[in-house]
Amino acid sequence: MQIKRAKNYGFCFGVRRAIELAQNHPNSKTLGPLIHNPEEIQRLKNDYNVDVAQNLLDALDGDTVIIRTHGVTQETLHSLEQSNKNIVNATCPFVTKPQEICANMSNKGYDIVIYGDIHHPEVQGVMSYSVTKTAVVLSSYELCKHRLGQKVAIISQTTRNIEGFLEIVNALVRQHKEVAVFNTICNATFDNQDAADELSKEADVMLVIGGKNSSNTKQLLEICKKNCPDSYLIETEDELEDVWFADKTLCGVTAGASTPNWIIDNVTKKLEKLNLMKGCL
Amino acid sequence: MQIKRAKNYGFCFGVRRAIELAQNHPNSKTLGPLIHNPEEIQRLKNDYNVDVAQNLLDALDGDTVIIRTHGVTQETLHSLEQSNKNIVNATCPFVTKPQEICANMSNKGYDIVIYGDIHHPEVQGVMSYSVTKTAVVLSSYELCKHRLGQKVAIISQTTRNIEGFLEIVNALVRQHKEVAVFNTICNATFDNQDAADELSKEADVMLVIGGKNSSNTKQLLEICKKNCPDSYLIETEDELEDVWFADKTLCGVTAGASTPNWIIDNVTKKLEKLNLMKGCL
């Protein structure tokens, strides 16, 4: 059985950068879990003594505090800056950008529309930079709840899809004289999805490695299942079952955006062992 | 037979304003025909000695020159300003707006996209205000001919429809980081169309009054024919035929954007005469 990884999988640029920053700052605390992967959090704790602070009170004066990829609200950033903590800002540059756009356009008097989930920390961070009316919506239907002015600027949560974004843009253009559209969608998620789609068409068994409660991992599984019914979601190599690979010729491997490479490597090593065992039968 | 006018018909605000300006400046010259209606041009000539100059050379120093609703290019405006002519600027305010937006955004470094017909005088006027790359397109397909920067501003010819505009906006948002969308579509045309649509559903005969080569008049006829097969396009009351109205109970009346009220009045007067004659039979 051949084992083949998708063209794009796993960590995006922003997550890789945040983990490198954490490794470069041992004995520090991240403000909330750095990524949605308990194994990686544990590794950073074991190997670098990088711990998780649930909130600002969990960090003491003199501590080094790492801001995670999602970013924080302007208020949290100010509190951190005014305290005696060392700040390592691991906010993804693709998230800093919508924060800056939000501040800039809002200061120019534009009302702000954010396509995203109001409960997501990234969105809460971005919207904290607005000084004008701000609508956070997931569909154009929700716009009716907001009374926005004639000049609006729209930005997107980085992980949203373009179709949903355009649906809201179109509704705004029909209603408003001026709509400044900033396409702040990051392609990393979609690059992983496109590659999973491509590989699962070719493979007769697919492994999707990632957290079982991670929404982007579950999306990958759905995409793979459409093309390859024998697709399985696993968190670690311990969940692999021999029967999945009987009579299979090509095992495709992809991984969610929060899955570190070492977990993927462990899975493929185990697959290679299974291959050897099959050869001995 | 009842005679009923559409809720909206005929001249838009900009055309009414231009004709008033012409009437207030007798013995002047319009730069090109003021509107697409020969009868109205003739009336202005007869009653106010307002003549048509085909180009700048047709106007002498000291003449009063009227700029029509479509506006002119920046170069033509400068030539006029530097000559010894009196300028009456009847450019529709809804056209001045996209000219200003074009100048402003282009000066800020945005490349310009205009949804419109490059041969139309309004579009030629607007695009003359750009100092950056400018793409005039009628569909997103045509965008591939242009190499635009990451920051673009899009405006529309005032008489275009929103669906075509959004099609181009969507293509731009997919490709560019920042798209400043200015909805410069004027609703007057569509208000007339909506009213014609509504009335032609009710009427059993429809009259569309306007120039036979006027595109907006022909669009009105098409809309009416869908709902009311007995729809007729006429330029004046002389074209009315008795047989059209035999056994009809409701005659709807609408008119193109270049049709003056006095022509519409003449048609309804003739219709009332026909009604009287029917009563005598």
Distance from C-alpha of B184 to C-alpha of B161, rounded to nearest angstrom: 10
Query: What pLDDT, on the 0 to 100 scale, is given for residue A276?
Result: 80
What integer pLDDT is reported at residue B60 of this predicted model?
Answer: 82
Q: What is the mean pLDDT of chain B?
A: 93
In this complex, the residue of A166, A177, A178 whose CB is nearest that of residue B173 is A166
pLDDT digits (tens, 9 = 90+) for B225-258: 999 999 999 999 999 999 999 999 999 999 998 8
pLDDT for B202 = 97
Q: What is the ipTM of this complex?
A: 0.83
B40 belongs to the catalytic site: no
Higher pLDDT, B54 or A182: A182
Residue B10 predicted with pLDDT over 60:
yes
In sequence order, the 6+-apart residues with CB closer than 8 A to the CB of A13 are A92, A94, A188
pLDDT score recorded for residue B89: 95
Low-confidence ranges of chain A (pLDDT < 50): none
Cα distances from A109 to residues A102, A131, B280, in angstroms, run 11, 8, 68
* Of A263, A251, A276, residue with least CA distance to A6: A251
**β-strand pairing of B178-182 with A178-182:** antiparallel
Asked which of A214-218, B101-105, B130-134 is least confident by mean pLDDT, the reply is A214-218
Backbone angles phi, psi at A232, to 5 degrees: -130, 140
- Render pLDDT for B15-45 as a digit per residue (tens, 0 to 9): 999 999 999 999 999 999 988 788 899 999 9
Residue B189 has pLDDT above 90, yes or no: no
CB pairs under 8 A between A and B: 50
In terms of CA atoms, which chain A residue is nearest residue B186?
Answer: A177
**Distance (Å, whole) CA A33 – CA B6:** 64
Strand stretches in chain B, DSSP E = 2-5, 29-31, 51-53, 64-67, 86-89, 111-115, 134-137, 151-156, 178-182, 205-209, 231-234, 250-255
For chain B, first and last CA: distance in Å?
14
Q: How far is A216 from chain B (nearest CA, A)?
A: 22
Q: Which of A56-70, B75-89, B260-274 has the lowest mean pLDDT?
A: A56-70
Query: Predicted confidence band at B211 (pLDDT cuts at 50, 70, 90)?
Result: confident
CB of A250 closer than 8 Å to CB of A228: no
Taking the C-alpha atoms of residue B89 and residue B96, their distance in angstroms, rounded to an integer, is 10
What one-letter code names the amino acid at A186?
A: C
If you count them, how many residues does chain A have? 281
Residue-level pLDDT at A35:
83
pLDDT for position B279: 67
pLDDT value at residue B232: 97
Under an 8 A CB cutoff, do B183 and A173 touch?
yes
The angle subtended at Cα B50 by Cα B49 and Cα B52, nearest 5°, is 130
- Cα separation, B154 vs B184, in Å, equals 9
Residue A62: the pLDDT is: 86
Scanning the structure block, which residue is given the tokens 């035929």? B241
| pLDDT, position A208 | 97
Beta-carbon separation of A173 and B179 below 8 A: no
Burial class (CB in 10 A: 0-12, 13-18, 19+), B279: exposed
